[in-house]
């Protein structure tokens, strides 16, 4: 294995690590199961007419008058509204309809009659305060409006540099508390972008570099990870979220690299044995499937993440490429043109029991949903471009979630399986979007340059 | 011819001077012989020099002149206006048609003429395939072009391949014309 040092990456990710780890709930660390709440009985907020419960999230109140706290209080409320709206477990009442309702004077003095009048079933209020050591303290309550009962109460302290992360944490914990759902507010995306408009060196052609970027799930905090001024594509998060494996042409041909983004180090597990591209992590993070031409034609291989124990799992004169693992790690879906055009197939991780899934003309980039869903998303050519289709293994049926708006490619599931990120040209340039697995709730994530190959952190 | 004459007279002069120089060291032995009596027969003049002919021009060799200009160019200059012709492909295909075979035959001739050249064949695709599959399709196009060159006697060691899929289109347009330009095996000279 080759190790390269990248001080810029290290610096970048120190900053990220700060945002990602320093905000501490006063609850126990999430890795240990939370103890039962002594002061709260778990109450699920419902809507009396059987609709999704209606939630209101007014601006948080700044408990101190400094400009940072005032700005942070407003931002936390806005971001939290968006985060809760994203999962579509609740109906989020538009914020402009309650701008006239006065902010709560304290967490125990809430104008519940006004919120009831608005039709809110749940109300999230909170306060933001700068602490003497320069940190930020956020207190939050979720009330059931009908009973005026606090059903969720938390307090967080952490660095004031990234107020959005407080909102994301609150959203994830409310989803966990109310819906036993793993929200995605603290997850991240990675993708490849040509936004820097830098020219590839060592060629007389005018070619734009593509570099790897990461961002929050909602597109905030977009940061560049690679700085090698070549083609860097198909990034994919390690399951522990600490590394990104991707295809880079930094040596003049495609090869696999793993950027350990918190350590700022770089590994090259395939060590330029042949040409290698499209890495896919096994669900436990110990293995990587990838495409290689090392035996003369594109075939699929699996190796340990350190590059050892490489074994070939396809053997066909046709192209075999674009692997993705099933959530159990027992199966791999991939693309092959053994029947003529490219189609999606599934096989055991040992390469046996190959069966074809797609039937449209020209399909590619399968991505396996996490549990509890059991489905495979991929794209198929429909008319001039591509659309995302989803094969449901249980129902043995196909559904389509984009419908001819631009060309739609490279779908990637969110870790809870409820959403997909993908590339679309619907607004002209290629941009990253997210959409629900039912095709609803589309959001544009990137706006600068062209952006491709999204992958969603676990 | 004139140069020969002047050279000979120079040699004669040197000999005469040498004789004179040597003669100074030794006393003369014989008396000078009187000149021969004039003959009646007139001395025939030396033959006229042949009429001046134009300098013989070397036979025109249009092949070698551009060759020399290629050989003297830098790699960037060669690749900017490459003498190696691209091979174009049909949609979703990596078969080399007759036009492509002609281009590769021309390229093979050039590579035989410049046996030190190393090349890279880039496989490119149009935007109508998916980005992921196109990485493999471009690879197959590049390999198809390399295999044909090898079949024409070019050593495989001289030819690397790399696929760029649809990442680096030659024409950014979204027309059939643009697509047909982007489905290609593109040749780059990497060493000479």
Instruction: Look at residues A179, A196, A226 and tell me which one is the last residue of a structural domain.
Output: A179
- Cβ(A402)–Cβ(A435) below 8 Å: yes
Residue A7 lies in a domain: no
Interface check B133 vs A, CB under 8 A? yes
Q: A83 to chain B nearest CA, in Å?
A: 31
CATH ID of B85-191, from 3.30.1330.60, 2.60.40.10, 3.40.50.300, 3.40.190.10: 3.30.1330.60
Q: Which residue in B has a C-alpha nearest to residue A323's C-alpha?
A: B132
Please list every residue in chain B whose beta carbon sits closer than 8 Å to the beta carbon of residue A319: 133, 136-137, 140
Instruction: Look at residues A179, A214, A238 and tell me which one is the last residue of a structural domain.
Output: A179
Residue A33 lies in a domain: no
On whether both A168 and A243 belong to a single domain, the answer is no
Look up the pTM and report it: 0.84
Walk along chain A (458 residues) and give the pLDDT tens digit of each residue: 444 443 343 334 333 433 333 333 443 333 444 444 445 568 999 999 999 999 999 999 999 888 999 999 999 999 999 999 999 999 999 999 998 998 887 777 899 999 999 999 999 999 999 998 989 999 999 999 999 999 999 999 999 999 999 999 999 999 999 999 999 999 999 999 999 999 998 899 999 999 999 999 999 999 999 999 999 999 999 999 999 999 999 999 999 999 999 999 999 999 989 999 999 999 999 999 999 999 999 999 999 999 999 999 999 999 999 999 999 999 999 999 999 999 999 999 999 999 999 998 899 999 999 999 999 999 999 988 999 999 999 999 999 999 999 999 999 999 999 999 999 999 999 999 999 999 999 999 999 999 999 999 99
On whether both A386 and A239 belong to a single domain, the answer is yes
On whether both A275 and A421 belong to a single domain, the answer is yes
Q: What is the mean pLDDT of chain B?
A: 80
Token code pair at residue A147: 């009973």
From residue A434, how far is each of A16, A91, A445, A456, B170 by CA, in Å? 22, 19, 7, 10, 30
Verify whether the Cβ–Cβ distance B133 to A234 is below 8 Å. Answer: no
The three-state DSSP-derived secondary structure of chain B is CHHHHHHHHHHHHHHHHHHHHHHHHCCCCCCCCCCCCCCCCCCCCCCCCCCCCCCCCCCCCCCHHHHHHHHCCCHHHHHHCCCCCCEECCCCCCCCCHHHHHHHHHHHHHHHHCCCCEEEEEEECCCCCCHHHHHHHHHHHHHHHHHHHHHCCCCHHHEEEEEEECCCCCCCCCCHHHHHHHCEEEEEEEEC
- Sequence-distant (≥ 6) Cβ neighbours of residue B65 within 8 angstroms: none
On whether both A163 and A221 belong to a single domain, the answer is no
From residue A98, how far is each of A49, A72, A139 by CA, in Å? 22, 19, 21
**Largest interatomic CA distance in chain B:** 111
Instruction: Among B76, B80, B137, select the one facing A319 at the smallest CB separation.
Output: B137
- The residues in A 214-243 lying below 8 A from B, measured between CB atoms, are 231, 233-234
Instruction: Among A341, A362, A364, select the one facing B132 at the smallest CB separation.
Output: A364
> Number of residue pairs across A and B with CB atoms under 8 Å?
82
DSSP string of A2-69, one letter each residue: -EEE-HHHHHHHHHHHHHHHS-EESSPPTTSPPPPPSS--------TTSSPPEEE-PPPEESS-SHHH
Q: Is A160 exposed, middle or buried (0-12, 13-18, 19+ CB in 10 A)?
A: middle
Q: Which residue in A has a C-alpha nearest to residue B161's C-alpha?
A: A253
Interface check A253 vs B, CB under 8 A? yes
CATH number of the domain within which A207 lies: 2.120.10.30
On whether both A226 and A356 belong to a single domain, the answer is yes
- Cβ(A300)–Cβ(A307) below 8 Å: no
First to last CA, chain A: 25
Which tens digit of pLDDT belongs to each residue from B154-180? 999 999 999 999 999 999 999 999 999
Range of the domain at A140: 52-179
Please list every residue in chain A whose beta carbon sits closer than 8 Å to the beta carbon of residue B135: 247, 254, 277-278, 291, 321
On whether both A209 and A356 belong to a single domain, the answer is yes
Number of domains in chain A: 2
Interface check A293 vs B, CB under 8 A? yes
| 3-class DSSP assignment, residue A361 | coil
On whether both A159 and A243 belong to a single domain, the answer is no
Verify whether the Cβ–Cβ distance A364 to B79 is below 8 Å. Answer: no
- The residues in B 7-46 lying below 8 A from A, measured between CB atoms, are none
Residue A36 lies in a domain: no
Q: Are strands A122-130 and A419-427 parallel, antiparallel or unpaired?
A: unpaired
On whether both A308 and A342 belong to a single domain, the answer is yes
Token code pair at residue A287: 């293995």
Q: A328 to chain B nearest CA, in Å?
A: 24
Which tens digit of pLDDT belongs to each residue from A20-46? 333 334 433 334 444 444 455 689 999
A441: left (phi over 0), alpha (psi -120 to 50) or beta: left
Q: Quick count: other Cβ atoms within 10 Å of Cβ A364?
A: 29
Instruction: Look at residues A133, A160, A179 and tell me which one is the last residue of a structural domain.
Output: A179
For residue A15, report the phi and psi dihedrals to the nearest 5 degrees: -60, -45
Interface check A321 vs B, CB under 8 A? yes
Which tens digit of pLDDT belongs to each residue from A57-112? 999 999 988 899 999 999 999 999 999 999 999 999 999 999 899 888 777 789 99
Please list every residue in chain B whose beta carbon sits closer than 8 Å to the beta carbon of residue A200: 168
Verify whether the Cβ–Cβ distance A234 to B168 is below 8 Å. Answer: no
Q: Is the pLDDT reported for residue B16 higher than 80? A: no
Give CA–CA dist A4/A149, Å, rounded. 55
On whether both A164 and A210 belong to a single domain, the answer is no
**Largest interatomic CA distance in chain A:** 73
Verify whether the Cβ–Cβ distance A342 to B133 is below 8 Å. Answer: yes
Among A47, A18, A389, A31, which residue's Cα sits nearest to residue A221? A18
The domain spans of chain B are 85-191
Interface check B132 vs A, CB under 8 A? yes
ipTM: 0.90
On whether both A322 and A420 belong to a single domain, the answer is yes
């Amino acid at each position: 294995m080759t190790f390269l040092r990248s001080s810029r990456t290290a610096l970048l990710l120190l900053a990220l690590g700060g945002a990602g780890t320093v905000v501490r709930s006063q609850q126990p660390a999430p890795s240990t199961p939370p103890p039962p709440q002594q002061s709260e009985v778990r109450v699920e907020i419902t809507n009396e007419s059987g609709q999704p419960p209606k939630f209101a999230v007014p601006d948080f109140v700044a408990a101190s008058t400094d400009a940072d706290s005032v700005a942070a209080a407003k931002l936390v409320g806005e971001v939290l509204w968006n985060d809760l709206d994203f999962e579509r477990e609740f109906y989020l009442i538009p914020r402009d309809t309650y701008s006239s309702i006065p902010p709560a004077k304290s967490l125990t003095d809430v104008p519940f009659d006004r919120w009831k009048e608005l039709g809110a079933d749940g109300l999230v209020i909170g306060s933001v305060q700068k602490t003497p050591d320069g940190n930020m303290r956020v207190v939050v309550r979720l009330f059931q409006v009908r009973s005026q009962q606090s059903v969720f109460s938390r307090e967080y302290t952490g660095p004031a540099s990234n107020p959005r992360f407080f909102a994301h944490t609150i959203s994830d914990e409310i989803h966990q508390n109310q819906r036993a759902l793993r929200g995605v507010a603290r997850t991240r995306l990675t993708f490849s972008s040509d936004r820097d408009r830098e020219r590839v060196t060592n060629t007389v052609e005018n070619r734009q570099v593509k570099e790897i970027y990461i961002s929050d799930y909602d597109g905030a905090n977009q940061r560049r990870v690679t700085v090698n001024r070549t083609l860097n594509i198909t990034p994919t998060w390690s399951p522990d979220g600490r590394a990104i494996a991707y295809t880079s042409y930094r040596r003049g041909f495609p090869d696999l690299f793993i950027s350990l983004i918190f350590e700022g180090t770089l590994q090259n597990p395939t060590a330029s044995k042949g040409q290698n591209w499209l890495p896919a992590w096994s669900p436990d993070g110990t293995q990587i499937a990838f495409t290689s031409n090392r035996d003369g034609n594109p075939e699929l291989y699996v190796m340990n993440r350190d590059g050892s124990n490489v074994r070939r799992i396809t053997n066909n004169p046709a192209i075999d490429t674009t692997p993705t693992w099933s959530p159990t790690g027992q199966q791999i879906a991939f693309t092959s043109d053994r029947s003529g055009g490219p189609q999606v197939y599934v096989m055991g991780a040992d390469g046996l029991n190959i069966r074809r899934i797609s039937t449209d003309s020209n399909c590619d980039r399968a991505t396996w949903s996490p549990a509890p869903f059991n489905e495979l998303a991929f794209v198929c050519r429909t008319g001039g471009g591509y659309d995302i289709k989803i094969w449901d293994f249980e129902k043995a049926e196909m559904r389509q979630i984009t419908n001819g708006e631009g060309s739609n490619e490279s779908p990637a599931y969110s870790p809870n399986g409820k959403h997909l990120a993908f590339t679309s040209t619907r607004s002209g340039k290629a941009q990253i979007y997210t959409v629900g697995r039912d095709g609803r709730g589309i959001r544009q994530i990137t706006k600068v340059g062209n952006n491709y190959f999204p992958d969603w952190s676990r | 011819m004139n140069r020969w004459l002047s050279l000979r007279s120079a040699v004669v002069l040197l000999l005469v001077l040498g004789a004179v120089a040597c003669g100074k060291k030794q006393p003369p032995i014989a008396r000078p012989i009187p000149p021969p009596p004039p003959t009646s027969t007139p001395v025939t003049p030396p033959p006229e020099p042949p009429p001046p002919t134009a300098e013989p021009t070397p036979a025109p060799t249009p092949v070698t002149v551009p060759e020399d200009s290629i050989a003297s160019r830098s790699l960037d200059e060669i690749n900017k206006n490459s003498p190696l012709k691209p091979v174009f492909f049909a949609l979703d295909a990596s078969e080399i048609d007759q036009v492509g075979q002609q281009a590769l035959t021309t390229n093979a001739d050039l590579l035989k003429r410049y046996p030190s050249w190393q090349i890279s064949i880039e496989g490119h695709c149009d935007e109508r395939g998916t980005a992921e599959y196109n990485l493999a399709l471009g690879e197959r196009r590049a390999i198809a072009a390399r295999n044909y060159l090898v079949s024409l006697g070019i050593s495989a060691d001289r030819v690397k391949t790399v696929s760029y899929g649809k990442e680096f289109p030659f024409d950014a347009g979204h027309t059939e014309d643009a697509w047909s330009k982007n489905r290609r095996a593109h040749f780059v000279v990497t060493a000479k």
